[in-house]
Structures are given as C-alpha cells and as structure tokens.
Structure 1
Amino acid sequence: MFNTVMSGNHNDQQMSALEETRTSLCDQFASISGSDSAVAQCYLAENEWDMERALNSFFEAHMDSVFDVEDAKETKDVSGNKRKGVNSSDTAEASGTKKKFKTDQMDCIDLTAEEPTCSSSVNPQESQAKSVVTESNAEDSKLSIISWNVDGLDTLSLAERARGLCSYLALYTPDVVFLQELIPSYIQYLKKHAVSYLFVEGNDDGYFTGIMLKKSRVKLLESEIICYPTTQMLRNLLVAQVTFSGQKLYLMTSHLESCKNQSEERMKQLRVAFQTMKEAPEDATVIFAGDTNLRDTEVVKVGGLPPGVCDVWEQLGKQEHCRYTWDTKANSNKTVPYISRCRFDRIFIRSAKTGSRVTPDHMVLVGMEKLDCGRYTSDHWGIYCTFKT
C-alpha cells in the first residue's frame, strides 16, 4: 500500500512538472507568434512539443500571403500611383537636422540610386561652395547605421509598415541596417524595393535577423551564423565581415531571447555575443546592434561589458530622448494593460586596437511618426546612429 501511494505521488509530480513545462512553452509560443494559448497548444501538440518545428509550421501556414494583396495592388496600379508612407507633415531628425517628406515624395520610394560623389574641382574663389563640399565630405566619411526590430510577426498593416521602413531608409540612407524579427515575405518586399542594398540573412524561414549593406559604401567579405545551443526561440548571432572606407568592420546582430522568465538563456546568449566581439581581429572594429531584450541587471550579472567594449548610448552621454526603444506609453501598436518603458535595443562597439579608430558620434530614435494606416512602423522604435571614422 505504501509503495502504491508513493508511486502515485511520484506520477502526480511528474504530471505537474510536465503541465508546467508545456504551459511555459505555450506562453513562449504565443509571445513569439502573436497568437493565443489555444493556437499555441494546437501547433505545439501537433509537433510533439518541439518549439522550433511548431513555430516553423505556424509561420508557413500564416505568413506566406502577407504581401499578396500589396503585390496585387501594385500590379493593378499601372499609373504608378502608390499609397503614402509617413505622413507628409511628419519630420525626422538626422544628425541634428530636421528633414521633412512631402506627400508626393513619399508616394514613390526610390532606394535604387547610388550616392552621388562630391566634386573635387571646386573654384577656390567660391568659398561658400567649398565650405559646403568640405562639410559634405566630412559627412560622407561617417558610418551611419539603423538598428530596428521591425515586428514582422505582427501581420496587421504589415505591408504598409514595411513601406514605412523603406521610407525611413530613403530618408536616412544608412550605410548598414540591422533588422530583427524579419519573416520571408518581409525580406522579399525589402529586396524588391531596396535594390541598392545587399542582404545578409540569419535564416530563410520562420523569423530571423538580417543585415543590409549599402552596395556603394560597404563591401561584404564573408558572413557566418553562430548558433545559440539552448535557444527555444530560434535565435542566433549573425556576423558579417565587411570593409568601409578601407577599414575592416565586424558587424553583428541578434535578437536575444524574449520574455522576463528567459533571463538565464538571454545572459548565455549575451556571453556568446561578447565573446565573439572579444575574439575579433585587433585590426577590426566590431559593432553589435540588435534587440537584446536586456535588463541592466543582466549586464551586471554577466560581469559587465568586456574590456574595450562600450555601450554607445552610454558613451554618448545617456541622452534621455533616446533611452527607451520599447515604450508602450508612447507606442500604441501593442495593446497591453500596462506601461512598459525599456532599453531593449542596444548598440555595442569595440574599436580596433590598431589603425584609425571608429567612435560614436550621434544617436536618435526613428519611427516615432504614425503612418497613414494609423500605426507605427514597429512596436519598437528604431535607432539611427553615426560613427566618426
């Protein structure tokens, strides 16, 4: 009788642990896919509770036709008239200068043109023109980047939001773009509209990260994907080795594990990213930009920033206006019953130990204007940042 009772208690404990594990998996699935627990349970059960298989199955079923309507409208609209992106009254700040799009400019987003080169044959007597050219050359020598979690998993107004992203790329013309939460249909849309960029992708199914390189300014040498062995959310580290103005750069992006209860896994992934930064050649500058989901206490727990690595936001004086990249108080894309303001999206840099140094110059948040559809480009603000080279 005693053995029977003990066996029963053991089975109850096993069942309770299994139920707790599966409830946690459902919560994670729902958070990643933007679905609910019922949908999560269905896909997980059908895929033997394997998170990766379940998510891939979900994405294949739901994401393939996201841009079908958009493509059909563009094909039908033979006159060339396209819907607007950012409102014509909206402004954005780049390197301390206010820029504004007119409606007719926004209707046709052209990212195909190469950057014009500055003329070197300036008349010495035209001092004002010479000053303008000198200033332009100084700006051209700077490296500019955008890092943005574009929330491709949210399919509501996704085509319009992707068009909004292209609007910001046309406005800021960054040399490098680090993107997180891409899906296949989203990346195909970008490839169609941003042909002046070379794309490096962290995967080709499910959802993933990507790096866009302006062909006229950045040369790709090679790239690699570093896996996170224990991720439950299909996360990895994407690394691209490039040259810019004769300098060697290691560009890295990642979308570290989401949710508060995934702190331990997130810190494991952060250690991998920091170790990769440390191991890069001494003659290369390393820039990591992405959605880290980090809390400041987690950076402390992993031992802080490695020697030589700095947090760009901190390096630039911890400016309050670009602190919170996830801000449910200001961003209404996600309907949540609470206010959450976090610095999830971060940029780290490790300057080269030899040769010329790359140093942070300016940072501002982008995507803070509503699109014509009434939503923002993403539930995250993007980060625009420039570096002196």
Structure 2
Amino acid sequence: MEEGNRLGGGTEAAGEEGEPEAKKRRLLCVEFASVASCDAAVAQCYLAENDWEMERALNSYFEPPVEESALESRPETTSEPETYVDLTNEETTDSTSSKVNPSENAQQEDGSMFSFITWNIDGLDLNNLQERARGVCSYLTLYNPDVIFLQEVIPPYYSYLKKRASNYEIITGHEEGYFTAIMLKKSRVKLKNQEVIPFPSTNMMRNLLCVNVSVSGNELCLMTSHLESTRGHAKERMNQLKIVLKKMQEAPESATVIFAGDTNLRDQEVTKCGGLPNNILDIWEFLGKPKHCQYTWDTQMNSNLGITATCKLRFDRIFFRAAAEEGHIIPRSLDLLGLEKLDCGRFPSDHWGLLCNLDVIL
C-alpha cells in the first residue's frame, strides 16, 4: 500500500470531522500503521490506549522490553516483488564483522568439520538491495560454508546468487514471489533428492524445503522454512512447527537431521506445542544459550526497519536430530553474521545471520 494513498485517505477523513486534533490523530494512525504494518483500526486502538503518544503506542504494540516478547517481524506481502530490480554481476565487498579462524578452515578442508549459515536476507526490502546482496555474498565467500539456508529470496536475488556462487548448487522452495533456498557446496555435499512440503493453510506462500545429502560419508536430511509471520498468525505458525518436527522425526534413523530457518517463533509458542521432542534439540540451547548469539532480530542494534521501539527476538532457530548411531556429527559453535553496516549505511538484512560449526567424527 502506498503511503501517499493512505495519507490522502486520512486527510479527507479528518476534514470531514472538521477538527485539527482529529486530523492530527488520523495522521498518527497512518504513521503507526506504516511502521507496524497493521490496519488503521489497530493503530487507532493502540494510540488511544497510550494517550496518542507514538513511541509508547509502538512499544506497547511490539511489546519490546520482555526478553521473549510476542512481537512480529515485518509482515510479508503475498504479492510478487517488483521485477525490475537488477543485481548486477559485480565483485563482492569485503565488509565483514568477524574474523576467519584459520584452524577452522583447515579442519573443514580435512573433513573434520561441517559448517552452515542460515539467514533471512530480507529480499522484500528493495532499498539498497544490490549493495546488501553483495554484503551477504561477502560473508558467504569469507566463511565458505558447506551449506547455506536462505529465506526471503526473490527472483533477482536468486539470479545474482547463481552467478556469484557458482560453486554451490541451489535448490529453491519456489521460484516466484519470495521463497527459501538451500545452497550446497558442490565439492563437499552430494545431493540425493529434494522435496517441497506445502503448508496447507498458509496465507504467506510458506512451505518446508527438504534435501537429502551425503557429507564425508554421513547421511544428512537438511530442511529450511520461513514460518508464518506476525503475532496474529501464531496458530498457523505453531501448526507449521508441528509439520516441521513431524518431518524431522520421520527421516531415516541413519540420517542426521538439521532444520535451520526463520521460525518467527516465541518461546511460549514452542511450549504450547508441547516443546521439542526428546530426540530433537535446539542448537542454541544445546550450546548453553550463549548470550552473544541469542537475538537474531534486534531493532536496537539493527536500524534497517527504522523502528524506534527496542525489540529483541530469537526468530531464527536451528533444530538438530542426531543419527541413531550418535556422535558422528556434533554441534560445536554458533555465531551471528551481518553485524556491520555497509557503505550505504544499512545492514545486509534486518535479521542477523547464524553461522554454525559442527564436528564430524571420522
């Protein structure tokens, strides 16, 4: 929805009321709705409850201070993004926020380590998209992971990745609108088969993308998804989580199963679903809940959305089910990516990426 149209509607309505204060409140509703991606009625409700103070109303809507608040990241539109976006084939930038550990690179080369990145790259935000895409690719080049899980990919971004990351095989959940993708390093990961499992009641084009691969003699089932967004779609999101967990449990016992993606989950939603099954763990929790990589959606640190409210959520999660013969692949470390602003003054995405390293017992 274009801001100009919304402003026009608000001004006309205010004029009908004939009150300057009413006009001011209409404009506040428009501004609130624009930031929160909600309708005018919701905006008016929150503003009225907070004495028409914008910051208080937004804080109330997003519920930020609580460590695990019921807050949504920006809702996604189901319409196709603009198709004129051109991501030209330019050299990647060197903008990074972490340093390479040479010993880890050596371990990866000799097969004793397996690494992957999961990242919602925010392809629906067309602002500075070219530079942000180059920024993402600089991290992929730097860390050279075996597998990359991506969410919010759009067709121009997909085309750019195919050119810039030719050493990866890319499998997508869709090829229209916006979608997920799994990238497999050709020199290390052998693709066996792939499957896309629809979420039957999604309103946001969401599904579960699965690939079966082999790495250093280990059988892996890799999955990614972008679960339903926003607080108002918690029920659908929990239903989708149940589908994910069921699929993880149905995988062959000989396989190590890894799900990594933008879950949009709040802890209480996982609890309402009965928690994770005994044989499936949350890697962040398994590693001792390290504070440095807890929040992957943090509007205090990440200014891309321009939200003044402080919102910290662990939307991006990694679930792990070990193979029946345990000990072949063991999670070792987890770190955030994309913490440094690019030359355009923005971050590669409104989400931080996650880099996960696992030990492979040969």
Same-fold call, TM cutoff 0.5:
yes
1:230 aligns with 2:240: no
Paired residues for 1:208-287 under 5 Å: 208-287=179-258
- 2:131, 2:344 within 8 Å by CA — same for their partners in 1? yes
Q: Which residue of 2 aligns with 1:109?
A: none
Report the CA distance between 1:321 and its aligned residue: 0.3
Report the CA distance between 1:172 and its aligned residue: 0.3
Superposition RMSD in Å: 2.6
Report the CA distance between 1:85 and its aligned residue: 2.4
Report the CA distance between 1:93 and its aligned residue: 3.9
Cα distance between partner residues in 1 of 2:347 and 2:180: 20
Report the CA distance between 1:354 and its aligned residue: 2.6
Cα distance between partner residues in 1 of 2:38 and 2:268: 30
Which of 302, 309, 313 is the matching residue for 1:342?
Answer: 313
Identity of matched residues, %: 51
* Secondary structure in structure 2 of the residue aligned to 1:92: coil
Report the CA distance between 1:91 and its aligned residue: 3.8
- 1:283, 1:355 within 8 Å by CA — same for their partners in 2? no
- 2:281, 2:319 within 8 Å by CA — same for their partners in 1? yes
Which of 131, 136, 154 is the matching residue for 2:125?
Answer: 154
Which of 296, 305, 312 is the matching residue for 2:267?
Answer: 296
CA gap 1:133/1:376 in 2 versus in 1, 3 angstroms: closer
Cα distance between partner residues in 1 of 2:180 and 2:104: 37
User: Normalization by structure 1: what TM-score?
Assistant: 0.71
CA gap 1:136/1:298 in 2 versus in 1, 3 angstroms: closer
* Secondary structure in structure 1 of the residue aligned to 2:319: strand
Report the CA distance between 1:263 and its aligned residue: 0.7
Report the CA distance between 1:136 and its aligned residue: 4.0
* Secondary structure in structure 1 of the residue aligned to 2:201: coil
Q: Which residue of 1 aligns with 2:93?
A: 85
Letter of the 1:85 partner, please give it.
T
Aligned residues: 293
Cα distance between partner residues in 2 of 1:139 and 1:370: 34
Which of 85, 89, 94 is the matching residue for 1:66?
Answer: 85
- 1:197, 1:215 within 8 Å by CA — same for their partners in 2? yes
Map Cα deviations across residues 193-216 of structure 1 (whole Å, 9 max, x no partner).
100000000001011100000000
- 1:149, 1:291 within 8 Å by CA — same for their partners in 2? yes
Q: Which residue of 1 aligns with 2:299?
A: 328
Letter of the 1:63 partner, please give it.
E
Q: Which residue of 1 aligns with 2:339?
A: 368
- 2:338, 2:347 within 8 Å by CA — same for their partners in 1? yes
Letter of the 1:383 partner, please give it.
L
Q: Which residue of 2 aligns with 1:6?
A: none
* Secondary structure in structure 1 of the residue aligned to 2:208: strand
Map Cα deviations across residues 306-341 of structure 1 (whole Å, 9 max, x no partner).
121000001111100000000000001011131110
Q: Which residue of 2 aligns with 1:309?
A: 280
Structure 2: gaps (5+ residues):
1-32, 41-75
CA gap 1:288/1:37 in 2 versus in 1, 3 angstroms: same
Letter of the 1:335 partner, please give it.
G
Report the CA distance between 1:373 and its aligned residue: 1.3
Q: Which residue of 2 aligns with 1:49?
A: none
Cα distance between partner residues in 1 of 2:155 and 2:247: 27
1:141 aligns with 2:112: yes
- 1:84, 1:372 within 8 Å by CA — same for their partners in 2? no
Cα distance between partner residues in 1 of 2:105 and 2:331: 21
* Secondary structure in structure 1 of the residue aligned to 2:339: coil
Cα distance between partner residues in 2 of 1:350 and 1:311: 9
Cα distance between partner residues in 1 of 2:327 and 2:335: 25
* Secondary structure in structure 1 of the residue aligned to 2:145: coil
Cα distance between partner residues in 2 of 1:248 and 1:195: 24
Cα distance between partner residues in 1 of 2:206 and 2:178: 9
Report the CA distance between 1:358 and its aligned residue: 1.2
- 1:86, 1:369 within 8 Å by CA — same for their partners in 2? no
* Secondary structure in structure 2 of the residue aligned to 1:293: coil
- 2:97, 2:339 within 8 Å by CA — same for their partners in 1? no
Paired residues for 1:173-212 under 5 Å: 173-212=144-183
CA gap 1:311/1:35 in 2 versus in 1, 3 angstroms: closer
Structure 1: gaps (5+ residues):
1-29, 39-53, 75-81, 100-131
Q: Which residue of 1 aligns with 2:11?
A: none
- 1:177, 1:212 within 8 Å by CA — same for their partners in 2? yes
- 1:86, 1:370 within 8 Å by CA — same for their partners in 2? no
Cα distance between partner residues in 2 of 1:321 and 1:286: 25
Letter of the 2:320 partner, please give it.
I
Report the CA distance between 1:357 and its aligned residue: 2.4
Cα distance between partner residues in 2 of 1:233 and 1:211: 19
Cα distance between partner residues in 2 of 1:205 and 1:285: 30
Map Cα deviations across residues 212-238 of structure 1 (whole Å, 9 max, x no partner).
000000000000000111111110000
- 1:63, 1:183 within 8 Å by CA — same for their partners in 2? no
Cα distance between partner residues in 2 of 1:191 and 1:36: 35
Paired residues for 1:38-77 under 5 Å: 58-59=79-80, 62-67=81-86, 70-71=87-88
**Computing the radius of gyration over CA atoms, which structure comes out larger, 1 or 2?**
1
Map Cα deviations across residues 100-150 of structure 1 (whole Å, 9 max, x no partner).
xxxxxxxxxxxxxxxxxxxxxxxxxxxxxxxx8996468642110000000
Letter of the 2:93 partner, please give it.
G
Q: Which residue of 2 aligns with 1:44?
A: none
Cα distance between partner residues in 2 of 1:250 and 1:203: 19
